[in-house]
Chains A and B, each alone.
Chain A
Amino acid sequence: EVRLLESGGGLVQPGGSLRLSCAGSGFMFSTYSMAWVRQAPGKGLEWVSLISGSGGHTFYADSVKGRFTVSRDNSDNTLYLQMSSLRVEDTAIYYCATAKGPLSDYFDFWGQGTLVTVS
């Protein structure tokens, strides 16, 4: 059974930093591209970042580029999102997800999310 468990969320002041983690199990972690998707309170889904299986390729939404850094440790089956220069508008539930398809173009498994509040 695929399991994704996020952690690291919390309350942080504007301009602060936070690191999210996502522990994966039940699948070949290193063979999957992994993504972060967020959802502001009462709003829709917004893709944040994606990292290839090897970690050699990373991609970011314009809204977080230059402030967030995605990384992974395949020896520990863990995905990370380092967030800095946080803004009030970064307040959201952050989900990690496995990216599937020949282009890693959709997300087939999701974690339960971790809440980040910037205030």
Chain B
Amino acid sequence: SYVLTQPPSVSVAPGQTASITCEGNNIGLTSVHWYQQKPGQAPVLVVYDDSDRPSEIPARFSGSNSGNTATLTISRVEAGDEADYYCQVWDSSSDHRYVFGTGSKVTVL
């Protein structure tokens, strides 16, 4: 089955840039979606189709995808961005499966 690997933790100072990677075999050939989950809350979609944002998500959140790595970038990080982040793909090769990454905890120092 398809595996998506993320760093367990990312630390960043307020105002700086956080980059969260999502590694998978030839992930650049498929669309990647990203979710933010704060403690005790449901996940929220922050980026879809590699780099598009829902209208309510600030432009500080951006995404890219190429080769074997997709990246979620959070610019000008704020304390409120502290959360778990998950990447996700639809694995068309295995009878309609949805695969989530292992998750990354972003800590704002």
Contact B100 A113 (CB under 8 A): no
Q: Is the interface of A mostly helix, strand, loop or mixed?
A: strand
Contact B42 A101 (CB under 8 A): no
Residues of A within 8 A of B101 (CB): 44
The A/B interface has a contact count, at CB < 8 Å, of 63
Residues of B within 8 A of A113 (CB): 42
The answer to whether the Cβ of B54 comes within 8 Å of any Cβ in the partner chain is yes
- B86 smallest CB distance to A (angstroms): 5
User: With the chains together, A62 CA to B102 CA distance in Å?
Assistant: 18
| Contact surface of A with B, Cβ cutoff 8 Å | 35, 37, 44-47, 50, 59, 61, 95, 100-101, 103-113
| Contact surface of B with A, Cβ cutoff 8 Å | 31, 33, 35, 37, 41-45, 48-49, 54, 86, 88-90, 92, 95-103
